[in-house]
Amino acid sequence: MKIKYQIVCLCFLFAVSWASTVHAKLHIVATTSDLGDLAKEIGKDKVEVTTIAKPTEDPHFVDAKPGFIMKLNKADILIEGGLQLEIAWLPSLVLSARNQKILPGNPGYVVASSPGIQILEVPSAVTRAAGDLHPYGNPHFMLDPLNGKIVASHICDQLCQIDETNCNDYRDNLKNFIQRLDQKLPEWQKMMEPFRGTKIVAYHKTFPYFAKRFNLNIVGELEPKPGIPPSPSHLNTLIPMMKNEGVKLILIEQFRERKIPEFVSERTGAKIVILPIMVGGQKEVQDYIALFDYTINQIVTALKTKS
């Protein structure tokens, strides 16, 4: 009787363990909050998503805290932007995590800058000369909403590869997300159309994808090269050019210092617009679509006051 009882208990424990495994959520670690938001959009209640970079900090430079290693160790999937956006901090974390599932070449390793994304500003030769942060091209492609669709599709494919049981749900979630994004795009384009060709300057080469999608003309940056601080000699060239070109706006990310943009604004009359570049960067920006709602409203409002 005792043996039968033990067998029943073992069978019950096995069944509970099997059920918990079947219904366990996939653990996803995304390097940035915009990638994390797309993973949530596709995975919904089937996934648990953690992001590493804060939405209010420069994704090129993230403090690699030990706690991130534990998160990566338990991850089923790692989603990174690629194009060496995270090169300064991610490789050491992944190496320390010792998680085979998220290493390159495995289904749990997802690079957002995959085929389908048209990479801008690809140099003729790969170099980090003088500290250039964009040696393989511009990594800020998520600021074009159509690239968001491509990345969401790629994430969906990887989820289906790892979790075939729930693939239909992932496909349905992707379809719903794309429909909502497609409904918003004409609205955004209509708002931006009166300002087609407007000349602007940015702090860093963060906005080329956004500018190309919404027909703004970026004529320069405060940085002489991506990641190189603005220098007096560069500003002495930039300021007269901005005056001659009639530059209307200076776009800066919220984590940038303000002193130099204000100095340039005072001498050119260009209005400073401070923008989040990731989901969660402002309280109003709680998802990927809201990121564009907020950004476009800020730019349109600033340009209307300059007209």
Percentages (nearest 5) of helix, strand, coil residues in the chain: 50, 10, 35
Q: How open is the CA angle 101-102-106, to the nearest 5 degrees?
A: 65
- Comparing C-alpha atoms, which of 39, 93, 86 is closest to residue 70? 93
- pLDDT per residue, tens digit, the chain (307 aa), is 545 545 444 444 444 343 344 458 999 999 999 999 999 999 999 999 999 999 999 999 998 889 999 999 999 999 999 999 999 999 999 999 999 999 999 999 999 998 899 999 998 776 665 566 788 899 999 999 999 999 999 999 999 999 999 999 999 999 999 999 999 999 999 999 999 999 999 999 999 999 999 999 999 999 999 889 999 999 999 999 999 999 999 999 999 999 999 999 999 999 999 999 999 999 999 999 999 999 999 999 999 987 6
The CATH classification number of 193-306 equals 3.40.50.1980
Query: Domain-by-domain residue ranges, the chain?
Result: 23-185, 193-306
Cα four-point dihedral sign 99, 102, 104, 108: positive
Residues in contact with 167: Cβ distance below 8 Å, sequence separation at least 6, in sequence order: 159, 160
- Round to whole Å and give the CA distance between 97 and 65: 12
- Residue whose entry in the numeric block shows the structure tokens 């019950």: 12
Range 231-264 burial, b when 16+ CB lie within 10 A, else e: eeebbeebbeebeebebbbbbbbebbeeebbeeb
Element (H, E) at 12: helix 2-23
| DSSP class of 247 | -
Q: Cβ atoms within 10 A of the Cβ of 177, count?
A: 21
- Whether 193-306 and 23-185 are alike in CATH topology: the answer is yes
Residue 19's pLDDT is 38
- Round to whole Å and give the CA distance between 38 and 173: 10
Residue 125's pLDDT is 74
- Residue whose entry in the numeric block shows the structure tokens 């190189």: 228
Q: Cβ atoms within 10 A of the Cβ of 13, count?
A: 10
Question: Are 146 and 118 within 8 A, CB to CB?
Answer: no
Q: Is 293 helix (H, G, I), strand (E, B) or coil?
A: helix
Residue 10's pLDDT is 44
Strands 47-51 and 26-30: parallel
Range 23-185: architecture per CATH: 3-Layer(aba) Sandwich (3.40)
Residue 123's pLDDT is 85
- Comparing C-alpha atoms, which of 43, 40, 39, 62 is closest to residue 52? 62
The alpha carbon of residue 165 and the mean position of all alpha carbons in its chain are separated, in whole angstroms, by 28
Range 94-126 burial, b when 16+ CB lie within 10 A, else e: beebebebbeeeebbbbebbeeebebbeeeeee
Range 274-296 burial, b when 16+ CB lie within 10 A, else e: bbbbbbbbbeebebbbbbbbbbb
pTM of structure: 0.90
Q: What is the CA radius of gyration of the chain?
A: 23
- Residue whose entry in the numeric block shows the structure tokens 């995270």: 86
Q: Cβ atoms within 10 A of the Cβ of 213, count?
A: 18
